[in-house]
Structure 1
Amino acid sequence: MAAGALFSALSDAEPMGAVLFGLAAIACGAFAAHGTLVRPRLTADFHGISTRTMSGTVKLDWAQARVRLRTTRRLGRDGVTLEIDGDDHLVVLGWLELGEDPRDVLDVLSALRARS
């Protein structure tokens, strides 16, 4: 019933409103697909780090990878991101991509690096 009401509202709406609604729906679908397809974004083991992107997986040995935290202040809030810098790649991961606080992830990565 809700889908029928939505379709009825869209068909009676102005054409520009329907176009904007369609673009918003496509954008939401693209963000959802991206979030689903590139999970997990970061994996690490004793050999190195792997990051997934839409173009593929980037694997770096511990000797190649430089991992650091970057803190930025925007609108009165501190944002912490984890930067993984390799030969030709820079990957910036925040809390949303990691699912954890980047500071905690850096601690785990440092422990893995020390054991390798």
Structure 2
Amino acid sequence: MTAPRKIRCAIYTRKSSEEGLDQDFNSLDAQFEACTAYIASQKHEGWKGLKERYDDGGKSGGTLERPSLQRLLADIEAGRVDMVVVYKIDRLTRALSDFAKLVDQLEAAECSFVCLTSALMGPNRVI
């Protein structure tokens, strides 16, 4: 039996306000931990979390011009990421038109994404 293909998973987190980001454990950390646990639960499928963090603290979801999101997109385009894991879909974007752009970029790079809150509610909803 062959081992499953390794799926390199990047976690993207975002919080729109800077309130609480100076705490030892904040919303970005909570999102990251939840996503890390989900990736670990998919280890049998070959999922492996990347060490790199893509955190945009204090950044609005109304624009795609966020430093860590842009870094993540560059890593996806460079072929370093196979799967993007987010806690909630609105962490990625709040605009439907931007969501469509992101899906097109991911598909072009043969990268998928999973939203943790959707994945836990039913069948694995990987796009």
TM-score scaled by structure 1?
A: 0.24
Higher share in helix: 1
Higher share in strand: 1
Whose RCO is larger (CA < 8 A, sep 6+)? Answer: 2
Structure with greater Cα Rg = 1
